[in-house]
Amino acid sequence: MGRTYRCVLWTETLREQHPGADDAPQSTGSTSRPAAPKPRRALLLAAVAAVVVLADLATKTIALSRFSAHEPIAVLGEFLQFTLWFNSGAAFSMGTGMTWVFSLIKLAVIGYIAFLARRLRSTGWAVALGMILGGAAGNVIDRIFRPPYLLNGEVIDWIQLPNWPVFNLADSSIVCAGVLAVLLAFRGINIDGTREGDDADPAEASDGAGGESRQ
């Protein structure tokens, strides 16, 4: 009895020194932690956009210094030519009197992409949106800083293919980004890095698996 009494007294002393120890949750091997969110890709988007803008500005500067307006230079015969062209409208010279409208649309696109950047966690979408952002910015720079200025400036185009309007690197970047965006959407990849169908309730999935195992 004396030994039992001493054990009980020792146990009560430990409880007084460490209150709440008995209530501590017991960790089990089955406890699962939520997956860490993917890192944001805003910096990647900005880097891609900067590369596109710099490449577009550099090639336009070279075209202005080395090419004469409307005089094609054959590179691959008639399949690929370099032709300096001052575009005051859209493709195929459409909408030449609405240049400012196209400029405002591109500014709206730039603002919307900047808004999406905080949700961006997909590498593929970061590249695609960065290419669109850089392409839109490259042409908007021409609209603002080339005569006649104030959103009405003429865009410098210099790449010509058969049966296609003359374009520049900014235009090609936007087109390639559109193709990439379609592929990402077709694969079900969202801009936050998730995939379509990944948001299914885990509890429902486990119940369904348990039901199948019991049958």
Per-residue tokens: 117: 């950047």
How much is the average pLDDT of 61-75?
95
Give yes or no for a contact between 139 and 91, defined as CB atoms under 8 angstroms apart: no
Candidates 171, 192, 198, 207; catalytic one: 171
Q: Which helix (H) or strand (E) holds 196?
A: none
Decide if pLDDT at 198 tops 50.
yes
Decide if pLDDT at 41 tops 60.
yes
Give yes or no for a contact between 63 and 166, defined as CB atoms under 8 angstroms apart: no
Mean pLDDT over each residue of the chain, to the nearest integer: 82
Collapsing DSSP states into helix, strand and coil, what is residue 168?
Answer: coil
Q: Using 50, 70 and 90 to split pLDDT, how confident is the model at 99?
A: confident
Q: In this predicted structure, what is the pLDDT of residue 205?
A: 45
Q: In this predicted structure, what is the pLDDT of residue 215?
A: 46
Give yes or no for a contact between 56 and 65, defined as CB atoms under 8 angstroms apart: no
Query: Tens digit of pLDDT for each residue in 124-179?
Result: 999 999 999 999 999 999 999 999 888 889 999 999 999 999 999 999 999 999 99
Q: In this predicted structure, what is the pLDDT of residue 181?
A: 97
* 195: β partners: 189
pLDDT above 90 covers a percentage of the chain that reads 61
Candidates 157, 192, 198, 199; catalytic one: 157
Query: Tens digit of pLDDT for each residue in 168-190?
Result: 999 999 999 999 999 999 999 99
Decide if pLDDT at 20 tops 70.
no
What pTM value is reported for the model? Answer: 0.74
Decide if pLDDT at 115 tops 60.
yes
Q: Using 50, 70 and 90 to split pLDDT, how confident is the model at 213?
A: very low
Known active-site residue 171:
yes
User: CB burial class (10 A; 0-12, 13-18, 19+) of residue 73?
Assistant: middle
